[in-house]
């Protein structure tokens, strides 16, 4: 997510006061939602090796239908974004244009991949911004997934890797109360678990990694218990709803990082009255493997040429011994 730089925190009291203002604004806008003009997509076949092609084809049709609707209602943001999704060669496991929109894209050959990375985005991510930030494409799910794949191929020319850009939930807006609670994360975690189980079912020997940015790390934290993943990396995280790695109840290797220019360092890592997400994941008390991110800002972890992107690619490729630690 891309947000303004926050000032230094001056204690929990000020933080909660700001949250109270955000809640007040959010409550007053609850009734202002617009009528949704986009149609519900048709049912998809259950995910399996034999249905991958059919799902890709069905979702391409659904994106085309949504683009026609966007043109009819003059939804300029969606027109541009949906047009990009229809670029030849792009493949989607699922798509839903309703509300803020959802899309799940596959980069690489999911059928034969020995390794799969699932990129889980944070707040302020919508269908309109799935990969429609021309100045910083790597800060979007689609652009970030492509940057990760390019980095992996630079390290290992034939990585046998597929990357899934997963906008499979509706992240909160950064100006909403939801960004300080786990309400959206609960729903997102259930959907993420289903995706991981489905991908694991394609080939149980596949090495699976979750890459969780910002609020997406809250989703991952809630989804992890018992999930068949090998590694999870949380970066720019406000917390994972756990006091330490042991509380995540996972067999996966847990990696965390925060860039030196990431404003998240100024956010208090507490949980009070249902607000906040607990222990700072990069703190020694949390107990994760903390990898170096370098001088990146909150939305720059997947920037080509960055130390953070290289380390994330090494984690995905199962080359943890080569990761630069903080």
Condensed to tens digits (0 to 9), the pLDDT of residues 255-283 reads 999 999 999 988 876 554 455 577 899 99
Domain that holds residue 303: 100-321
How far apart are the C-alpha atoms of 247 and 288, rounded to whole Å? 12
pLDDT at residue 288 tops 70? yes
pLDDT, residue 48, reads: 95
Q: What is the pLDDT of residues 117-172, one digit of tens each?
A: 999 999 889 999 999 777 889 999 999 999 999 999 999 999 999 999 999 999 98
92 within a domain of the structure (yes/no): no
pLDDT of residue 183: 62
Cβ(95)–Cβ(103) below 8 Å: yes
Tokens of 15: 């933080």
Reported as a pLDDT band with limits 50, 70 and 90, residue 20 is: very low
DSSP 3-state of 162: strand
User: Given this model, what pLDDT does residue 285 score?
Assistant: 94
pLDDT of 248 reads 95
Give the integer Cα–Cα distance in Å for 265 and 263: 5
As to burial, measured by CB atoms within 10 angstroms (0-12 exposed, 13-18 middle, 19+ buried), residue 17 is exposed
pLDDT at residue 31, as a whole number: 32
What's the confidence (pLDDT) of residue 25? 36
Cβ-count burial of 324 within 10 angstroms (0-12 exposed, 13-18 middle, 19+ buried)?
middle
Among the listed residues 79, 77, 39, 42, the one whose alpha carbon sits nearest the alpha carbon of residue 59? 42
Average pLDDT, the chain: 87
Determine the distance from the C-alpha atom of residue 296 to the mean position of all C-alpha atoms in its chain, rounded to a whole number.
18
Residue 108 lies in a domain: yes
**Does residue 326 form part of some domain?**
no
pLDDT of residue 182: 59
pLDDT of the residue at 267: 81
Q: Per-residue confidence at 179, pLDDT binned at 50, 70, 90?
A: low
Q: Which of 29-33, 99-103, 297-301 has the lowest mean pLDDT?
A: 29-33
In a domain, 312, yes or no: yes
CB within 8 Å of 158: residues ≥ 6 apart: none
17-43 mean pLDDT: 53
Asked if 119 contacts 141 with a C-beta cutoff of 8 angstroms, the reply is: yes
Residue 65 resides in a domain: no
- Whether residue 209 is contained in a domain is answered as yes
Nearest to 222 by CA among 254, 190, 244, 196: 190
* Total domains present in the chain: 1
Tell me: pLDDT of 289 over 80: yes
Are 303 and 135 in contact, with CB atoms under 8 Å apart? Answer: no
Comparing 323 with 123, the larger pLDDT belongs to: 323
Greater model confidence, 20 or 106 = 106
179 versus 135: the higher-pLDDT residue is 135
Structure tokens at 258: 């925060």
* Helix extents (H) in the chain: 12-28, 52-73, 76-85, 141-155, 183-202, 215-223, 307-316
Is residue 65 scored above 80 in pLDDT?
yes
Q: Which one-letter DSSP state was computed for residue 181?
A: S
32 inside domain: no
Phi, psi dihedrals of residue 41, rounded to the nearest 5°: -65, 155
**pTM of the complete model beyond 0.75:** yes
**CATH code of the domain in which 190 resides:** 3.40.50.1820
Mapped onto helix, strand or coil, the DSSP state of residue 8 is coil
In a domain, 3, yes or no: no
Distance CA 107, CA 111 (A): 11
Q: Does pLDDT of 7 surpass 90?
A: no
Phi, psi of 142 (to 5 degrees): -65, -50
Q: Which residues neighbour 64 within 8 Å (Cβ) at sequence distance 6 or greater?
A: 86
């Amino acid at each position: 997510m891309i947000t303004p730089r926050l000032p230094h925190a001056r204690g929990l009291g000020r933080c909660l006061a700001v949250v109270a203002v955000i809640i007040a604004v959010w409550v007053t806008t609850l009734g202002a939602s617009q009528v949704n003009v986009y149609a519900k997509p048709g049912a998809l076949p259950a995910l399996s090796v034999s249905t991958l092609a059919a799902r890709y084809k069905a979702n391409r049709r659904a994106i085309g239908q949504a683009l026609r609707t966007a043109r009819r209602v003059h939804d300029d943001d969606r027109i541009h974004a949906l047009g990009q999704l229809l670029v030849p060669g792009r493949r989607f496991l699922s798509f839903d244009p309703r509300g803020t929109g959802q899309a799940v894209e596959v980069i690489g050959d999911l059928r034969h991949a020995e390794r799969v990375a699932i990129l889980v985005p944070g707040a302020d991510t919508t269908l309109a911004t799935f990969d429609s930030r021309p100045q910083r494409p790597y800060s979007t799910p689609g652009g970030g997934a492509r940057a990760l794949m390019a980095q992996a191929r630079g390290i290992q020319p034939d990585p046998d890797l597929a990357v899934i850009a997963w906008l499979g939930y509706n992240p909160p807006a950064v100006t909403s109360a939801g960004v300080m609670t786990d309400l959206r994360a609960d729903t997102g975690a259930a959907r993420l678990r289903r995706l991981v189980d489905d991908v694991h079912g394609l080939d149980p020997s596949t090495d699976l990694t979750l890459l969780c940015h910002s609020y997406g790390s809250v989703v991952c934290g809630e989804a992890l218990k018992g999930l068949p993943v090998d590694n999870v990396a949380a970066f720019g995280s406000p917390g994972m709803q756990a006091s330490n790695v042991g509380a995540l109840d996972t067999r996966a290797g847990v990696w965390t990082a925060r860039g030196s220019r990431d404003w998240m360092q100024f956010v208090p890592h507490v949980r009070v009255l249902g607000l906040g997400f607990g222990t700072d994941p990069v703190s020694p008390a949390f107990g994760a493997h903390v990898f170096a991110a370098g001088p990146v800002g909150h939305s720059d972890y997947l920037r080509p040429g960055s130390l953070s992107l290289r380390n994330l690619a090494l984690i995905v490729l199962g080359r943890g011994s080569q990761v630069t630690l903080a």
